[in-house]
């Protein structure tokens, strides 16, 4: 058993470590940062059913970044399909929605350093027995994916599971990621691809409704997006790196991917 004194020493060490990182970070002197998300990607960003407020991993992370940089985070909402363009045009300073860092997007906006690395998995209904992996899913033309156009989930379904045809009728396009999951739950589609973190979030929030089948279908790095040439890039990167070093990101992973239940 760890003594109370030992626990207090550990807490003190973490506090000192966090303070030292904060002391070395840029001071934005109370600047307001306009942050935008969608509230449809559990557990990264979603609506708290108890309060109606936006909560999740990305909310906590960006609010902590604001504290470390002495900045105020002002939250806004946008649909996924409009978010990148809105940030590109400087309507908002920083955007987030489990956005995968890739070359095509990096030509339009700036990415921070990765804050989360995750792999894609097949989320299915808990009683699914007709297929057990991507190969058996792809082999039967009756099986249907639900996906949001333009997302990593959509492209992995097209190119890693199906035939590379982006107009493949076996993909039902939904307006939001949350609607894809609802379509799966109601039986309108047979699988939704998502990163492991979000899959754990949906499984935890809907006991007995979902499970993961098959193995990982590649990995992806998530980053916050910023207006090209933004002077916030270096400060936010510095804050993210400090949160990696002092264990804050690990603590957020535990809170939202393992401990949280709606």
Q: Find the helix packing angle between 4-24 and 233-245, rounded to 10°.
A: 160
Mean pLDDT score, 164-181: 93
Q: How many CA atoms lie within 13 A of 169 on its CB side?
A: 3
Q: What is the average pLDDT across 21-26? A: 74
Per-residue pLDDT reduced to its tens digit, 191-242: 999 887 778 888 988 899 999 999 999 778 999 999 999 999 999 999 999 9
pLDDT at 19: 47
Q: CB neighbours (10 Å) of residue 32?
A: 12
Superfamily classification of domain 32-115+223-259: Periplasmic binding protein-like II (3.40.190.10)
CA dist., res. 192 & res. 171, Å (int): 10
Mean pLDDT of the chain, nearest integer: 89
Sketch the domain layout of the chain as residue ranges: 32-115+223-259, 118-221
User: Are the C-beta atoms of 176 and 148 separated by less than 8 Å?
Assistant: yes
- pLDDT at position 9, please? 38
Model pTM greater than 0.75? no
CA distance 213 to 235: 40
Residue 34 has pLDDT above 90, yes or no: yes
Helices (H), 49-166: 57-69, 80-88, 103-106, 134-138, 152-156
The predicted pLDDT at position 261 comes to: 67
Which pLDDT band, with edges at 50, 70 and 90, does 31 fall under? very high
Q: Report the percent of the chain where pLDDT is more than 70.
A: 90
For 171, which DSSP code? Answer: E
Rounded distance between C-alpha atoms, residue 125 and residue 116, angstroms: 26
> Nearest to residue 189, comparing CAs of 179, 198, 197, 175?
179
Percentage of the chain modeled with pLDDT above 90: 72
pLDDT digits 0-9 by tens, 100-113: 999 999 999 999 99
CA nearest neighbour of 59 among 70, 43, 71: 43
The region of weakest confidence among 12-26, 27-41, 197-211 is 12-26
CATH 2.40.50.100 for domain 118-221, yes or no, is: no
Is the fold of 32-115+223-259 the same as that of 118-221?
yes
User: Which pLDDT belongs to residue 22?
Assistant: 53
Q: What is the pLDDT of residue 178?
A: 85
């Amino acid at each position: 058993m760890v003594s109370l004194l030992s626990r207090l020493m550990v807490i003190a060490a973490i506090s000192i470590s966090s303070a030292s990182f904060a002391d070395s970070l840029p001071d934005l002197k109370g600047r307001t940062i306009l942050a935008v998300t969608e509230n449809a990607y559990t557990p990264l960003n979603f609506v708290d059913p108890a309060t109606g407020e936006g909560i999740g991993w990305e909310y906590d992370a960006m609010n902590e970044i604001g504290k470390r940089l002495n900045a105020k985070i002002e939250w806004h909402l946008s649909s996924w399909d409009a978010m990148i363009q809105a940030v590109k045009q400087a309507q908002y300073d920083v955007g987030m929605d489990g956005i995968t860092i890739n070359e095509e997007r990096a030509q339009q906006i700036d990415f921070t350093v990765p804050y989360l690395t995750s792999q894609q998995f097949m989320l299915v209904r808990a009683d699914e027995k007709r297929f057990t992996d991507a190969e058996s899913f792809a082999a039967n033309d009756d099986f249907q994916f639900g996906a949001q156009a333009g997302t990593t989930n959509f492209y992995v379904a097209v190119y890693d599971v199906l035939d590379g045809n982006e107009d493949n009728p076996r993909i039902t396009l939904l307006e939001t990621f949350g609607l894809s999951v609802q379509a799966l739950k109601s039986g309108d589609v047979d699988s939704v691809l998502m990163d492991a973190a979000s899959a754990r979030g949906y499984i935890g929030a809907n006991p007995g409704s979902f499970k993961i089948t098959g193995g990982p279908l590649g990995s992806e790095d998530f980053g916050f997006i910023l207006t090209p040439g933004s002077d916030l890039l270096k400060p936010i990167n510095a804050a993210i790196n400090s949160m990696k070093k002092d264990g804050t990101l690990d603590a957020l992973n535990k809170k939202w991917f393992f401990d949280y239940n709606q």
